[in-house]
Structure 1
Amino acid sequence: MSSSASQPEIKRVEDLWFPDATLILRAENSLFRVHSGILAARSSVFRDMIAFPQPTPTKDSGENETVDGHVVVRLHDLAGEVEVFLRAIFDSSFFMPPRSPVEFHVVIGVMRLAHKYDVQYLFQRALSHLDSMFQVQFADFLAMDWGAAKDKDHVVFQSGDITVDFSKAFRAALEVGALWLLPTAYYNIVRESDFLVQLGANCYLSPQEEKLFLAAQIKCLRAFVSTHRFMKLLPSPDCDSLQCTDTITEGHDVLKRWSDDCADMDPLGPWVFGFVDGTLCDGCEELARGKHRAAQEVFWDTLPTLFGLPTWDELRELRCKVIEETA
């Protein structure tokens, strides 16, 4: 391959360099040599690309980049995403359906390029992985244990920084039209009071997005207050337990300390009951949990519109349509 001293070093991705293949792809500074027939069978975009006559290599003309006599096809994608996308195609064990373990950045890369290059089975598989993380039903959202998700769930976060990873997810979801993934992705970002600091240079937000997120964060704080108004209704009218009175007093102190110190604004979180389990009488606990859940459901119903998105019913309908089209 002809090159000049000013060009960056080009590397071959060994596991995706098949000597008997004739299609050579380049993404950024990475080269992949793959079988065109297999790629064409999976992707209608590559099938059309390969069917189009390729330019004839011309020695020393500088017009076409060549390797081993084959013209190099340039892809305007990130090398890391092309690598995981091609691995998913050429290694059947690399990107298995849920709940097989998979790294989060792999899911995002495969989803984006499977959509771009029309590999429907991989696109649907990637969406299935994300469906387990970004729910459209409140009961499923409550069942998700984010503490366990960081270390034990089948989707592994590469950096361990969920806020940054979720920012990558919403960018990809916007690109592929998977809008139903966005409400919970957005929510898990803005519930962190310092999300702009956490994102830093890792994710660019437009001024409009930044304004939208900050406005949503204020609404999260108001919703947090609303979901804990049940504290004012305790003890229940038929309660005469001194233990309930002590627990309720402690609860008010905890909420006060939270407002002073806590960095999270999480109206959909269950943490408030961590200090009341087993300490309230049945009547007080039933009243508290019922009012808390009812206020959470009200907030959940408004969550998409908080970010300028369609309603949950519309998003669920969109999800069904996309899933059916890719099935």
Structure 2
Amino acid sequence: MSQEQNLEDDAQSGCSLDECTRVADLWFPDANLILRAENTLFRVHTGIICARSAVFSDMISVPQPAQPEDQTLDGHPIVYLHDSAAEVEVFLRAVFDSNYFMPPPSPTEFNSVIGIMRLAHKYDVPYLFRRALCHLESVFSPTLTDLIGALITRITPPSVEFTLGDVNVSLITISAVSEVGAVWILPAACYCACTFSVKDILSAGKPWNTLGADQQQICLTSRAELIRATTRTYRLFRRLPSPHCSSVDTCQIAVSAAHDRLENRADRNYDAHPLETWASNDISTKLCDTCHQLWTELSTEAQESLWAALPGILELPEWDELYKTRAAVLEAST
């Protein structure tokens, strides 16, 4: 086994084997492979995990030297995984329980998606890696229409269960997809992170501190650009009512009310979410047909313009390159 794989350690750390926690439904008495992650033990079947994971298959195929008694259990050597116990648990559940991690639209938890994605990438389990990416795309879609449908209008809610209004979800996603090379998810994840106040972002703790200095800088500078984009929304109201408006007084009242709501949102630090501003503002329901059509055209053009520019704002490759990367990664995972 290569040193880079970091699958085993020469010495134990933490508590003794007797003190370690055994995960009951991932402890098969007739299995012959014992894994340790932090202070948690798993006993699984070599044949199954090797059939799924090229990394485990390569590691198991290499004859291992005799291990000291304190590094064996029931005569089986212990393989030390340098991963969190929580992530190893969800990863192994996905490998050994075919009903645990189903493809979208079956629901799953955010932390499970991140853990399975990271370890499926690390240990080369292509079908789980691809499945995790599809779940994550249901939240942070690389297409404008799907992103709005999932996170703003909620017409097509994501398959991933998570807490709306939690900046950590976006920040953890940024770190994880950067690690596994799923860069096409970054625009949506970074956009969502930037919609939070600077105070919320800087107070996120570990998820924020885990990002590299360059990513942190991009998040903060990009937020300033999104504030400017939101401000440009106000200017769209100058185009209303339409010159052909059939109810000028009514439409003018609707425009003024919408403008006031936007200003109130800005006062509450909700000032960097231009896509939400255009997509969910209820002004359109209170306009005459002519003004409604004009507003739809103006807001759609503004949304598409921002979306096209978003990778550049975030110092990422253009959308065409991101889509090519997506195709290459997903094809390599088939």
Structure 1 letter corresponding to 2:239 = L
Give the CA deviation at 1:244: 1.3
Distance 1:6 1:320, change over 3 A: closer
The question of whether the paired residues in 2 share the 8 Å contact of 1:170 and 1:182 is answered with yes
Q: Distance in 2 between matches of 1:192 and 1:117?
A: 34
* 1:172-321 superposed matches below 5 A: 172-193=176-197, 194-204=199-209, 205-239=211-245, 241-270=248-277, 274-321=281-328
Counterpart of 2:96?
90
Counterpart of 1:31?
41
Give the CA deviation at 1:134: 1.7
Q: Distance in 2 between matches of 1:90 and 1:300?
A: 40
Q: What whole-Å deviation, never above 9, does each CA across 1:148-207 have from its counterpart, x for those lacking one?
A: 599x643112x6653212211121111110100111011101111233245134431343
Q: Distance in 1 between matches of 2:119 and 2:14?
A: 30
Distance 1:207 1:124, change over 3 A: closer
Q: What whole-Å deviation, never above 9, does each CA across 1:222-265 have from its counterpart, x for those lacking one?
A: 01112332101111112252111222222332233233234342
Give the CA deviation at 1:115: 0.8
Structure 2 residue 120 is matched with structure 1 residue 110? no
Q: Distance in 2 between matches of 1:114 and 1:5?
A: 25
Structure 2 letter corresponding to 1:283 = T
Q: Distance in 2 between matches of 1:303 and 1:51?
A: 46
Give the CA deviation at 1:35: 0.7
Q: Tell me, what secondary structure is at the counterpart of 1:32?
A: strand
State percent identity of aligned pairs.
44
Query: Segments of 4+ in structure 1 off by > 4 A?
Result: 3-6, 146-150, 270-273
**Aligned residue among 79, 82, 87 for 1:76:** 82
The question of whether the paired residues in 1 share the 8 Å contact of 2:117 and 2:133 is answered with yes
Counterpart of 2:149?
143
Query: How many aligned residue pairs are there?
Result: 319
Q: 4-13 vs 34-43, which deviates more?
A: 4-13
Counterpart of 2:4?
none
Q: Tell me, what secondary structure is at the counterpart of 2:98?
A: coil
Structure 2 letter corresponding to 1:92 = S
The question of whether the paired residues in 1 share the 8 Å contact of 2:153 and 2:280 is answered with no
Unaligned runs of 5+ in 2: 1-10
Q: Tell me, what secondary structure is at the counterpart of 2:80?
A: strand
The question of whether the paired residues in 1 share the 8 Å contact of 2:140 and 2:189 is answered with yes
Q: Distance in 1 between matches of 2:165 and 2:286?
A: 35
Q: Tell me, what secondary structure is at the counterpart of 1:93?
A: coil
Counterpart of 1:100?
106
Q: Tell me, what secondary structure is at the counterpart of 2:36?
A: strand
Q: What whole-Å deviation, never above 9, does each CA across 1:253-287 have from its counterpart, x for those lacking one?
A: 22332332343421111467644243211122211
Unaligned runs of 5+ in 1: none
Structure 2 residue 173 is matched with structure 1 residue 163? no
Give the CA deviation at 1:80: 0.7
Q: Could you say what the CA RMSD is over the residues aligned between the two structures, in angstroms? A: 2.4
